[in-house]
Amino acid sequence: MSTENLTWTVGHVQITRVEEVITYMDASVLMPSFTPDMLDPHRDWLIPHFFSERNDKMALSIHSFVVQSQGRTIVIDTCVGGQDKGLPSDPNFPDRLDAAIEGGLGAVDIVLCTHLHFDHVGWNMRTVNGQRVPTFPNARYLFAKVEVDHTRTDDHMRVLGPSIDPIIDAGMADLVETNHTVTSEVCLLPTPGHTPGHVSVLIESDGESALITGDMTHTPLQFALPDLAASAFDTDSDQSTQTRIDIIERFADSDTLVLGTHFAPPTAGHVKRSGGYVRFA
């Protein structure tokens, strides 16, 4: 894991990436229609950051973004947590997050989950002295209402019991619309398809802007190939493809900095059209 936390400034907003783990996997595990020859036109910009030079495995970074806006501290996605659900995790992640946040975990005002998959909600709760407690004791946790409703009908990742219902039962959750305004600089942008209530996060401040993707994309390759869906995990791959097409249409060749929720460092870049392709630069 990296010891340095990447940071970005967008207008008056500060964004810090705090990494839990990076893992390497066959891209076809997430995206069953992936074949390695799809990399060939894109190797120059995908390798070595986003795909391994050695064996074409895809880097999957698991990290939180800590956003400072107007005196509020916002944590976007809480990573895997201490449960064995098929991705690696780091038991020391809350301590590292605590060290990275001015004022520590208790200073977090808002926790925002882009969607309710286990690698985005895992550290909503943690175990301290044998007791399950909210990791961010003074925060409001924002979940999209439609996402919670959907998960009640299909909780195949078993997140409600460990990571969602204890927060709701403690009165710490706000169930919000998928276009909710968090601060006047930070708002949710509905990007459905991976899940029905999936959101990205749009940050606009002092003439600058940034987009935090969530799992609308898992790898920058999906900007070049938007129909390469994570259909192993998407609830609706046609919709996730349409969402990527819409987002590329809106943000390609703009000044908006795009921060990938699963993109390994450098994590952030711009969506650019060049040579007949869309790439991440």
Which range of residues in 23-31, 63-71, 113-121, 143-151 is near Zn ion by CB under 5 A?
A: 113-121
**Residue whose tokens read 């060749």:** 253
Which range of residues in 23-31, 111-119, 137-145, 156-164 is near Zn ion by CB under 5 A?
A: 111-119
Which range of residues in 5-13, 85-93, 116-124, 202-210 is near Zn ion by CB under 5 A?
A: 116-124
Say which residues have a Cβ less than 8 Å from residue 214's Cβ, sequence separation at least 6: 77, 114, 115, 120, 191, 194, 198, 199, 200, 201, 261
- Measured CA to CA, the distance from residue 184 to residue 47 in angstroms comes to 37
19 vs 215, beta carbon nearer Zn ion: 215
13 vs 111, beta carbon nearer Zn ion: 111
Q: How far is the CB of 117 from Zn ion (least distance, A)?
A: 5
Report the candidate in 214, 274, 262, 280 with the shortest Cα–Cα distance to residue 27. 262
CB 13, CB 207: distance < 8 Å: no
20 vs 119, beta carbon nearer Zn ion: 119
Does the footprint of Zn ion cover residue 56 (CB under 5 A)?
Answer: no
- Measured CA to CA, the distance from residue 146 to residue 195 in angstroms comes to 10
Q: How far is the CB of 71 from Zn ion (least distance, A)?
A: 29
Which range of residues in 15-23, 35-43, 114-122, 124-132 is near Zn ion by CB under 5 A?
A: 114-122
Does the footprint of Zn ion cover residue 19 (CB under 5 A)?
Answer: no
Q: How far is the CB of 262 from Zn ion (least distance, A)?
A: 6
* Number of residues binding to Zn ion, judged by CB under 5 A: 2
Q: How far is the CB of 37 from Zn ion (least distance, A)?
A: 25
Residue numbers 195-234 binding Zn ion by CB under 5 A: 215
Does the footprint of Zn ion cover residue 147 (CB under 5 A)?
Answer: no
Edge-to-edge strand list for the sheet holding 181-183 = 181-183, 186-190, 199-205, 208-212, 257-259, 268-269
Give CA torsion, residues 214, 219, 224, 228, to 10 deg.
Answer: -90
20 vs 185, beta carbon nearer Zn ion: 20
Q: How far is the CB of 125 from Zn ion (least distance, A)?
A: 18
3-state DSSP assignment of residue 118: helix
CA distances from 66 to 15, 73, 94, 205, 224 (A): 6, 7, 13, 16, 28
Q: How far is the CB of 160 from Zn ion (least distance, A)?
A: 17
Residue numbers 152-191 binding Zn ion by CB under 5 A: none
Does the footprint of Zn ion cover residue 119 (CB under 5 A)?
Answer: yes
Q: How far is the CB of 152 from Zn ion (least distance, A)?
A: 20
CB 120, CB 113: distance < 8 Å: yes
* Residues facing residue 183 across a β-bridge: 186
- Name the site residues for Zn ion (rule: CB under 5 A): 119, 215
